[in-house]
Structure 1
Amino acid sequence: MTIAAPVNHDTIVLERLYDASPARVFEAFADPEARMRWGAPSSNTGLVYDEADFRVGGLDISRCGPKSNLIYRVETRYHDIVPEQRIISTEIVSEGVNRLSFSLITVQIEAAREGTKLTLTDQIAAFGGASMIEGSRAGFNAALDNLHAEFART
């Protein structure tokens, strides 16, 4: 009998206000080139999309990790997309044959007086300890902070 790794669950909710229109915020998620610019959480981290299919039912396949060794594979399946309002997807993160986490991710985009309010909710099930949850929290926090610079580009 194989003993399964323990499962840790958490819900991560992050909010940001951006000085950009809802259309521009939505486009930053829809465009894989833009996601590669702002999605890597640090200058030492790489993010590459091998496949990008941003549509309901579409699948993105990306690799990430240290720039010299993109060891993590991420499969993102899109389940609901309402332009300028929301994106709902599932995400599987693996390292080799080992699955590290499964997530249901909801991105809500709302017009606000200051521009756009974005709320990202990551309902995550991680295997083998809480470090994957903390990594997801830190990664999304840094990426959403990077999104400010994306809007300052033009």
Structure 2
Amino acid sequence: MTDTKTLTFTRKLPADPARVATALTSPEARMVWGTPDADMVVLIKDQPAPAPGVREISTCWPADNPYVTVRTDWVEITPNRISYAETLEAEGAAFATSLAIFDLAATGTTTDLDVTIFVASFAGQEVLPEVEGGWTHALENLARHIEGVTT
């Protein structure tokens, strides 16, 4: 059975939408802010530039053993919306997929960021809070990254 959950987040970020969009798509930036936990890493190496239809393969998890493969399938990249599907795999088996949709709206010199994430767990309901915690941590890191604070 597949367990599912919908996550929603709202952030006001002190940057224009173009800068936020760059942080959301740049592999270098995502390796800084995109970790699901403070003791983890995201490694994105030798991958094609994000664009609709592109698949990116990265690794994630503890710094001494990044054993989770992350398949990111870019769906849409526009000035106002970025979306992608992210599948997490361990030992060759997918255990969760998230469809992440980031809506960006300029408000003066800031960006209102509304994030909707549809999560499907293929490994039981206990995976859902772990995935939610990972997204929560990553989005907190994104805000700090945009503010210029080291994550």
TM-score (norm 2): 0.90
Equivalent position to 1:132, from 119, 127, 132: 127
Percent identical:
29
TM-aligned CA deviation for residue 78 of structure 1 = 0.9
The AA in structure 1 aligned to 2:71 is E
- C-alpha distance after superposition, 1:5-35 (max 9, x if no partner): x210111111111111111101101211011
CA 1:45–1:8: 2 relative to 1, 3 Å: same
CA distance in 1, matches of 2:87, 2:8: 18
TM-score (norm 1): 0.88
Matched, 1:60 2:56: yes
**Partner SS, residue 34 of structure 1:** helix
Equivalent position to 2:68, from 72, 94, 100: 72
Matches within 5 A, 1:3-152: 6-50=1-45, 51-83=47-79, 85-113=80-108, 115-152=110-147
2:42–2:58 contact (8 Å) kept in structure 1: yes
Unaligned runs of 5+ in 1: 1-5
The AA in structure 1 aligned to 2:10 is E
The CA RMSD measured in Å over matched residues stands at: 1.7
1:7–1:126 contact (8 Å) kept in structure 2: yes
2:96–2:123 contact (8 Å) kept in structure 1: no
TM-aligned CA deviation for residue 131 of structure 1 = 2.5
Unaligned runs of 5+ in 2: none
TM-aligned CA deviation for residue 52 of structure 1 = 4.2
TM-aligned CA deviation for residue 142 of structure 1 = 1.0
Larger Rg belongs to? 1
- C-alpha distance after superposition, 1:102-122 (max 9, x if no partner): 222111111124611111211
